[in-house]
Amino acid sequence: MRTTGILTHWGPFLIESDGSDITEVLDHPTDPDPSPIGQGLKAATRSRITKPAVRKSWLEGGPGAAAHLRGVEEFVEVEWDEAIRLVAAELERVRDEHGAPSIYAGSYGWGSAGLFHQPSVQMRRFFRMFGPYTDGRLTYSSSASSAIVPYIFGLGWYPACGQQTSWKVISETTELFVSFGSLRLNNTQVHFGGQGPHHTREWIAKSAANGVEFVNIGPVRDDEADEANSRWLPIRPSTDVALMAALAHTLVVEGLADASFLATHCVGWDRLEPYLLGVTDGVAKSASWAAEITGIDADVIVDLAREMQRKRTIVNMGFSIQRTDHGEQTYWMATALAAVLGQIGLPGGGVAFPFGAHGRTGGGQPPKRIPRLPIPPPPGGQTVISVSRIVDLLENPGQPFQFDGDDQVFPDTKLVYWAGGNPFHHHQDLNRLMQAWRKPETIIVHEPFWNAMSKRADIVLPATTPLERDDLGDGETILFASQAALEPFGESRDDYDILVALADALGFGAKFSEGRTSQEWIRDLYAKYAKSEDGAPDFDQFWSDGLVHHAGMGAVGDSDHVFLADFRADPVAHPLPTPSGRIELFSETIDGFGYDDCEGHPRWYEPFERLGTPLAERFGLHLVSNQPTTRLHSQFDHSDISRSTKIHGREPARMHPTEAAVRGLAEGDIIRVYNDRGACLAGLSISDAIAPGILQLATGAWYDPDETGMCKHGNPNVLTHDKGTSRLAQGPSAHTCLVEVEKFTGELPPITAFDPPTFAPRTQS
């Protein structure tokens, strides 16, 4: 029996194991509020891929053979040498016959938090050395906000998130903390690339005890921690921009706008104000106008506007509001609202993001930069799509597309290469993805588990999990030794070792590996870190201590940092890096793109669907496919902790008692959720924490379609629409989605999501 430490995207844990299995997952002594997701790690050895495997027709008939059988056909297991030979030859063939851009290796996803083994870093390093492949930019999390924020503030997205006002300042100075898309404690369990010990609950409790009032603008009451004691303002999803505009409009018409702040710190108010007042389009964005759209009474809107002006108010945004049609507008209009309030840059006031969307916001100190595997610059001739436009890419070879000011042409994708992500989890409209997935000639994946994605590949290379290898873990104020607890499962290999073998076969092995094993890389990266850290021990000491606290970093959240304070104090001496040096409420650059779905200033655009429109007569519920509580996305859905929440094996879906009553539904019923795009089953849970008109069904149930395409298990992405937010970000708009629900009365089909595929013996040719 041995005990090792690990840092995951959902926090640090101690693992007790006998070398081949985990016996216990223990809370880490540094973590005051450990995540239940940790228990999922116990499933690390279930549903595993043991050996490289090739889809039978592909092996026998070559690239493209019977591509429609992906996901149904048997696999043939092969030896590693053969697998590497096949993959290397196929990469070379496609590059030579079709040009490297016909390889899509954007490979989005949340594989391993480790600083070295993170698959997205490994992949980018490998493919940038291989040639000008097609890559993806932005994320499924925050495409729209990350595309618009640089135009508003001139700051890169991650630096802007890292500069948010500290929790200490909020707890001491904020009076009203208004969240659009909620301060969702559940989601603060997680941070990409490693979540350190969890402190958000503590800070929320401290703030509430100090008198901070939290307002939850969103469709789900219990998103916010009990400790927050929040006021709940349910809103129709995808209508936040209308509410923000009306709050700003109210302040203007009541003479409460901060004209001086708008004049000295912003540009574009002269363009935005006439829009809000209705001078430009004849529609005043008044409280009564917004009431019709949002479902919130006009007097509630007016009162909230006045209260926000009277009090020291933070306007906070999660990510959910921008994973909607025209999601760019949410961050822009919220900034405009905060500018009208005039509190930007003041302690405890202004604009904030994304408190409640991940665990580190409000940490109050610049993130520690820890050395990692270097990624070379992109080779010339890259095509770069917005990462969530993968199906547009597969469907439209040769067609032009517009993205963030660039005009490009989609290449003809012949080969898709994925490691560390799961499009059959993360992508919208999975029935459409299923069709497009048949088009490439070859699909290659590295994956530890037999999930919906690996089962739909042609060549499957079994990858180790982070539990099977050593790594460094970035835990905010602490560097963790993330230590192997288990032997590699079956014949699985580290992504790094797979890529080294491939690079060797392709002739750039020495360049890729620089002659180092992964252990040597990790020691080398640590040595670079230790060199610039006062008092950091040598590697062996660090490894036996299990962690090192970064020098000079205080406790999480405990600083006096205020977002944009210098700019506020003196906008001439500390201009923002925007073209005007100020907050851009009108952007000449965006205006110059000429996009009719993202014009020069923030505005309300009708989403493709929402409650309160004729379509809602057929599909009367807005689907909130939010983040799950007991897992990270689809990871470890096959664990006991995730499966314990299921109802008759189906993902739980929650709705308000009145919505259940009108549909004749009872607690525990199996329901069929449907719209014109698809259908899935789910298990009903009735709760008044869900606003009327809403169905809440978390993401991440492993996709398990029957022969009609209905997901038997409850994956909401059979229902969501696959449309870019706008030409600017081309981000996902998963949270804009109407559905209807009925009782499922048929015979309950068994769940097959966690079963391995079938295997065929090798036939002699």
Ligand X SMILES: Nc1nc2c(c(=O)[nH]1)N[C@H]1C(S)=C(S)[C@@H](COP(=O)(O)OP(=O)(O)OC[C@H]3O[C@@H](n4cnc5c(=O)[nH]c(N)nc54)[C@H](O)[C@@H]3O)O[C@H]1N2
Binding site for ligand X (CB under 6 A): 109-112, 117, 119, 140-141, 180-182, 184, 186-187, 189-190, 217-220, 223, 235, 237-238, 240, 318-321, 323-324, 356-358, 419-422, 425-426, 446-449, 451, 463, 465-466, 495, 624-629, 632-635, 699, 716-717, 720, 734-735
CB of 297 to ligand X, least distance (A): 16
721 contact, one of Mo ion, ligand X, none, CB 5-8 Å limit per kind: none
Binding segment for Mo ion (CB under 5 A), chosen from 111-119, 136-144, 445-453, 647-655, is: 136-144
Are 14 and 4 in contact, with CB atoms under 8 Å apart?
yes
Q: Which does 237 bind (CB under 5 to 8 A by kind): Mo ion, ligand X, none?
A: ligand X
CB of 452 to ligand X, least distance (A): 9
Q: Interhelix angle for 240-253 vs 328-341, to 10°?
A: 20
Least Cα distance to 559 among 477, 622, 621 occurs for 477
Partner interacting with residue 704 (select from Mo ion, ligand X, none; CB below 5-8 Å by kind):
none
Using N-to-C axis directions, what is the helix angle for 495-506 and 80-98, rounded to 10°? 60
Shortest distance in whole angstroms from residue 271 CB to ligand X? 26
Only one of the segments 2-10, 133-141, 234-242, 750-758 lies at the binding site for Mo ion (rule: CB under 5 A); that segment is 133-141
Nearer to Mo ion, 7 or 387 (CB): 387
CB of residue 140 vs Mo ion: minimum separation in angstroms?
5
| For Mo ion, the closer CB: 141 or 335 | 141
Check: CB of residue 341 under 8 Å from CB of residue 315. yes
Q: Give me the DSSP letters along 122-169.
A: HHHHHHHHH---EEEES-TTTHHHHHHHHHHHS--HHHHHHTPPPHHH
Q: Which is nearer to ligand X, 236 or 550 (CB)?
A: 236
546 binds, among ligand X, Mo ion, none (CB under 5 to 8 A by kind): none
- DSSP letter (8 states) at residue 55: E
Minimum CB distance to Mo ion, residue 450 (Å): 24
The minimum distance between CB 560 and ligand X, in angstroms, equals 27
When CB distances to Mo ion are compared, the closest residue is: 141
Quote the CA–CA distance of 153 and 585 in Å, as a whole number.
10
β-pair type (231-233, 213-217)? parallel
Which entry of Mo ion, ligand X, none binds 699, CB below 5 to 8 A by partner kind? ligand X
Q: In this complex, which beta carbon is closest to Mo ion, that of residue 141 or of residue 320?
A: 141
In the complex with ligand X, the residue whose CB is nearer, 135 or 584, is 135
Q: 287-325: b or e for each residue (b if 16 or more CB lie within 10 Å)?
A: bebbbebbbbebeebbebbeebbebbbbbbbbbbbbbbb
Structural contact between residues 635 and 40, judged by C-beta atoms closer than 8 angstroms: yes
> In 3-state terms, what secondary structure has residue 371?
coil
CB of 398 to ligand X, least distance (A): 28
- Binding partner selected for residue 174 from ligand X, Mo ion, none, CB under the kind-specific 5 to 8 Å limit: none
Work out the number of other CB atoms within 10 angstroms of the CB of residue 453: 25
DSSP 489: P
How far is the C-alpha of 383 from the C-alpha of 637, rounded, in Å? Answer: 34
- Looking at the DSSP bridge assignments, the partners of residue 103 are 415
What six digits make up the tokens of 271?
């363009």
Q: Which is nearer to ligand X, 266 or 484 (CB)?
A: 484
Which three-class secondary structure state does DSSP give residue 632? strand
Longest Cα separation, the chain: 83
Alpha carbons 32 and 197: distance in angstroms, whole number? 7
141 is a contact residue toward Mo ion (CB under 5 A): yes
Angle subtended at Cα 237 by Cα 232 and Cα 241, rounded to the nearest 5 degrees = 95
Report the residue number, 445 or 576, with the smaller CB distance to ligand X.
445
188 binds Mo ion (CB under 5 A): no
635 contact choice in ligand X, Mo ion, none (CB below 5 to 8 Å, kind-dependent): ligand X
- Chosen from ligand X, Mo ion, none, partner binding at 12 (C-beta under 5 to 8 Å by type): none
Residues with catalytic annotation?
Answer: 108, 110
Q: Enumerate residues 6+ apart whose C-beta is below 8 A from 58.
A: 65, 66, 442, 458, 459
Tell me the C-alpha to C-alpha distance, in Å, between residue 10 and each of 370, 395, 449, 538.
19, 35, 19, 27
Q: Which does 186 bind (CB under 5 to 8 A by kind): ligand X, Mo ion, none?
A: ligand X
Nearest distance from C-beta of residue 601 to ligand X, angstroms: 21
CB of 56 to ligand X, least distance (A): 23
- Closest to ligand X by CB, 257 vs 453, is 453
The two tokens of residue 275 are 């829009």
Task: Report the nearest approach of ligand X to the CB of residue 509 (Å).
Answer: 20
Q: How far apart are CA 384 and CA 519, in angstroms?
A: 33
Cα three-residue angle 140-138-404, rounded to 5 degrees: 120
Among ligand X, Mo ion, none, what does residue 95 contact (CB within 5–8 Å per kind)? none
Site string for Mo ion, 486-525 (x = CB under 5 A): ----------------------------------------
User: Smallest distance from the beta carbon of 466 to ligand X, in angstroms?
Assistant: 6
Instruction: Select 341 or 453, whichever has its Cβ closest to Mo ion.
Output: 453
Cβ closer to ligand X: 49 or 415? 49
The encoded tokens of residue 319 equal: 């990510």
Query: Are the CB atoms for 152 and 332 separated by under 8 Å?
Result: yes
Q: Which does 383 bind (CB under 5 to 8 A by kind): ligand X, Mo ion, none?
A: none
H helix count then E strand count, the chain: 24, 29
DSSP 488: P
* Cross-strand bridge partners of residue 549: 478
- Strand-pairing partners, residue 220, are 690
With respect to Mo ion, which residue has the nearer C-beta, 448 or 732? 732
Q: What are the backbone dihedrals phi and psi of residue 274, each rounded to the nearest 5 degrees, phi first?
A: -60, -30
Query: How many residues form the binding site for Mo ion (CB under 5 A)?
Result: 1
Write the DSSP symbol of residue 270: H
Q: Give the integer Cα–Cα distance in Å for 198 and 180.
A: 22
Residues that bind Mo ion (CB under 5 A): 141
